[in-house]
Amino acid sequence: MEIEYFTKLERIPYKDITIFMVTILRELPTPLQWQFTIESFREELERVKHEHNKFAFIMDVRGIGRLSIAQIKEFVNLLESYNYILQDYLIASSIYTTNNSILAVLFEILKSFYNTKKPLKFVYTLESAYEFIDSFEKGIIRDGHS
């Protein structure tokens, strides 16, 4: 039996960095799918810790539903446990989405528990996601971010 995942996490070499492309595959995860997601993120952050390479996130969240507060807190706790990795190696994150009120609510909940360590921008095309990351990878400051 093949496991159906909640997310797909890919490492994409891009210029001098690695892009972690996270794609939400279904609206809501089962408990097992959620655990696989958390463990996948943990494993990738551990790899960054040992590789010492700069990276960025592009998260395609167009298919996401409304995660529970417990799931949001668990994800935030994971990020906080790797705070030093995010501070040292993360360049920026792009959230690829549609203009979706559910996502806005989720992000507001996330922000109440977690302050982003690096620039984060909601974008509506993959090209915009890469442009945003490029602006920080090259040291260019755009869109009021520093």
pLDDT at position 113: 65
SS3 69: helix
> What pLDDT band is residue 66 in, cutting at 50, 70 and 90?
confident
Do residues 19 and 58 touch, judged by C-beta distance below 8 A?
Answer: yes
Q: What is the pTM of this model?
A: 0.82
CATH number for the domain formed by residue range(s) 7-137: 3.30.750.24
Residue 103: is its pLDDT beyond 70?
A: no
Q: At what angle do helices 31-51 and 69-81 cross, to 10 degrees?
A: 10
Q: Is the pLDDT of residue 99 over 80?
A: no
Non-local (6+) Cβ contacts of 115 within 8 A are none
